[in-house]
Structure 1
Amino acid sequence: MTPTVHLSCFLALLVASLAQGIKGSLRSQDPGPRPLELKEVFALFQTQYNRSYLNPAEHARRLNIFAHNLARAQQQQEEDLGTAKFGVTPFSDLTEEEFGQLYGHPVAAGRAPNMDRKVGSDEWSESVPPTCDWRKKSGVISSVKHQKNCNCCWAMAAAGNIEALWGIKHHQPVEVSVQELVDCTRCGNGCEGGFIWDAFITVLNNSGLASEKDYPYQGKVRTHKCQAKKHKNVAWIQDFIMLPDCEMKIARYLATEGPITVTINMKLLQQYQTGVIKATSNTCDPHLVDHSVLLVGFGKSKSVAGRRAEAVSSKSRHSIPYWILKNSWGASWGEKGYFRLHRGSNTCGITKYPLTARVTHPVKRKQQLVSCPP
């Protein structure tokens, strides 16, 4: 067993009881769990995620934040209606405000510029398959990236969308430059946030994107900014569209055309570990979307006992429909860099901005639909 796995198991054993104790102490102002227990868990967190702090005062502040986050994770665990598990993550020593500044972007106000919700063909007559996972088709989904301290989820989601569609439509795997989108965005400093439509407009303005190999990701805006003219484009787009705010139609488009980008409320992702998140509008406001990701598939979990139903009857069992989403926080977060949201309840605002590029030119005859891997 590797040290990382050992630490993860040990953390899992300690966190639940610690979080419950911390949550109770925060409510009752009791001293809380024994200091040694909390410090022990925090030391394991520091080891696993390579954290160090400048001085004892900063260490104490982060320890306090860590304790509050454990309590929040326990509360989220109790409130979740799906199968999600919340607990220690790489972001457990960050405040909610710090996490939002580093990994989200400003809440989008209004609609994308000059866009109506529409579709590109008559695929709505097709039935929706029970499952779809574009990760299973070779050359479609690139590896999980890590945006680090650059607030460019919007660029990574857009790049992943273009890569996937290029692989599907042209049978040619490609990895495009996220750094070009960050450097060349029409809205200034690309590491300070942006929106999916900013990325697509940048691609149209530059007549395409360079490869990741030629124009590699730096995690910051380059000193001399846009270098697009120095590199050959390896992929381009015809235009981009916004899909209807209907999960059934989004699923049909995803299955027949390929992965799309969505922008969600990331409130529950800071403490997320695994499973299907099913939230209410109170626990994850669907109107306050602030994080862009790539929607790569959907399915249903195996029959499980619902948490609330389980308290009433052990026979109350149901499967949970879910979306599969690719994040940009590295493969050590979530389910190897992915996470799942409940499908059918607009969880965390997934239907607000479903956007996708189009990489093929319109033709008079109806195109043959692409088959999504089940």
Structure 2
Amino acid sequence: MNYFLIFLICFVFVVSTNHYTENEVELLFSKFKSDYQKSYLNPNEEAYRKAIFEEKLNLVQEHNSDPTKTYKIGINQFSDLTYEEFSSMYLSSLKYPNKKSEHEFKQESNLEDKSNNNNNNKMKGGLKSNPANLWRLLGFDVTEVIESALAKDTGVLIELAPQEALSCTYKDSSSSNPDVTDGYIEVPSSWISDGWQTGCDGGNACDVFQLYALYKTITSSQLYPYADADGICQTYTNYVELSSNEVYEWGYGCNKESEATLETLVANNGPVSVAIYASSTFESYTSGAFASTDCYVNGETNHAVNVVGYLNNYDGYPVWIVRNSWGAGWGQNGYIYEL
């Protein structure tokens, strides 16, 4: 009897993870190309992308058939890319110092759920559709947090300019300036000199916040539109004023503070910028309470997002409500719920 039960269990498992037939893959790939307006250079390229897509289909089926998983993954706009390709196009190496901020926060306990309905109604964060190859940039992450803070303070949503943060980001590895973190520093155009280089690839959100906290001004996207490139740092006299209590650098990623402190920050101050490691399953997330087993190594991070709220009980789990920057077609309308 015991042998029979073991055989039956194994048989049921094999049946539940059957892969798709060739015809099913063909139909699903055709639908994928139509849904996401995909086109390829030649038949060889299409065959290569189809093979990747089929592998993703099988991974989705296997993952979603596992009753121990707390979340689901699915097909999305990235499903014809390998994880290596996806990483090079949409993720970035984010360098954060191990430092303490001047700002200290009193932790609170027994905080109520914060889904940030007021904030979500006033901000466009994760719903922005950023151009390919530059979605990874910190400019969007930082300006969305400041947009939310301004909206919370004034009741008016002003779309700010991520291009300002991108164009005014410089790297000078030879600098002895103590404010330079791992070679990155955000500077106004008046600091431009020979030897400084602009950089689209990542950077440091803490330094970006320090820039805006120092100068207490930020430009709207109407005046400083997105240029799909680094560009030259511009200055404008018609800018948005920031009071001293509206923007400052604290840095959950910088300080590696406790989640209790982050909870207090989100509850009392609104959205917070954090650095995370976006794994291959994060890339394909569709629903549920996300808990990645592909954890970062030695504190590695490769993506910047906004924590906009938390729920103490979401499908039985306490979760962070995280706003991403890959458009409303990703995740749950641009958001992910993370353990």
TM-score, normalisation: structure 2: 0.76
After superposition, where does 1:150-165 map in structure 2 within 5 Å?
Answer: 150-165=134-149
Q: Tell me which residue corresponds to 1:293.
A: 305
Residue 329 of structure 1 and its aligned partner are, at CA, apart by 0.6
Q: Tell me which residue corresponds to 2:24.
A: 37
Q: Tell me which residue corresponds to 2:109.
A: 127
Corresponding residue SS for 1:275: strand
Q: Deviations over 1:340-372 (max 9, x none)?
A: 101xxxxxxxxxxxxxxxxxxxxxxxxxxxxxx
Q: Tell me which residue corresponds to 2:212.
A: 203
Given that 2:289 and 2:314 are in contact with CA atoms closer than 8 Å, whether structure 1 keeps it comes out as no
- 2:242 corresponds, among 236, 248, 251, to 236
Given that 2:323 and 2:336 are in contact with CA atoms closer than 8 Å, whether structure 1 keeps it comes out as yes
Cα 1:52–1:20 change in 2 (3 A) is farther
| 2:58 matches 1:58 | no
| 2:190 matches 1:193 | no
Q: Deviations over 1:249-289 (max 9, x none)?
A: 21012101211011111112211112210234xx3337221
| 2:80 matches 1:93 | yes
Superposed CA RMSD in Å reads 2.8
Corresponding residue SS for 1:241: coil
Q: For 1:93 and 1:231, how far apart are their aligned partners in 2?
A: 45
Matched-pair identity in % = 26
Cα 1:85–1:173 change in 2 (3 A) is same
Q: Tell me which residue corresponds to 1:333.
A: 330
Cα 1:21–1:139 change in 2 (3 A) is closer
Given that 2:217 and 2:240 are in contact with CA atoms closer than 8 Å, whether structure 1 keeps it comes out as yes
Q: For 2:202 and 2:62, how far apart are their aligned partners in 1?
A: 29
Q: Deviations over 1:276-316 (max 9, x none)?
A: 10234xx333722110001100004455xxxxxxxxxxxxx
Corresponding residue SS for 2:249: strand
Q: For 1:250 and 1:289, how far apart are their aligned partners in 2?
A: 18
Task: Tell me the amino acid that sits aligned with residue 328 of structure 1.
Answer: S
Residue 18 of structure 1 and its aligned partner are, at CA, apart by 12
Q: Tell me which residue corresponds to 2:180.
A: none
Corresponding residue SS for 2:104: coil
- 1:279 corresponds, among 286, 292, 315, to 292
Q: For 1:240 and 1:80, how far apart are their aligned partners in 2?
A: 41
- 2:321 corresponds, among 317, 321, 324, to 324
Q: For 2:59 and 2:295, how far apart are their aligned partners in 1?
A: 13
Q: For 2:25 and 2:43, how far apart are their aligned partners in 1?
A: 16
Q: For 1:137 and 1:204, how far apart are their aligned partners in 2?
A: 21
- 2:124 corresponds, among 142, 149, 155, to 142
Gaps of 5+ in 2: 1-13, 172-196
| 2:262 matches 1:250 | yes
Gaps of 5+ in 1: 1-16, 23-32, 304-318, 343-374
Count how many residue pairs are aligned between Structure 1 and Structure 2.
Answer: 291
Q: Tell me which residue corresponds to 2:158.
A: 174
Corresponding residue SS for 1:232: coil
Residue 176 of structure 1 and its aligned partner are, at CA, apart by 1.1
Q: For 2:70 and 2:83, how far apart are their aligned partners in 1?
A: 23
Given that 2:271 and 2:308 are in contact with CA atoms closer than 8 Å, whether structure 1 keeps it comes out as yes
Q: Tell me which residue corresponds to 1:262.
A: 274
Q: Deviations over 1:9-29 (max 9, x none)?
A: xxxxxxxx999444xxxxxxx
TM-score, normalisation: structure 1: 0.70
Q: Tell me which residue corresponds to 2:189.
A: none
Corresponding residue SS for 2:208: helix
Task: Tell me the amino acid that sits aligned with residue 278 of structure 2.
Answer: M
Cα 1:34–1:73 change in 2 (3 A) is closer
| 2:238 matches 1:226 | no
Q: Deviations over 1:320-349 (max 9, x none)?
A: 11000111111111111111101xxxxxxx
Q: For 1:160 and 1:218, how far apart are their aligned partners in 2?
A: 17
Residue 235 of structure 1 and its aligned partner are, at CA, apart by 4.1
Q: Tell me which residue corresponds to 2:183.
A: none
Q: For 1:43 and 1:231, how far apart are their aligned partners in 2?
A: 51
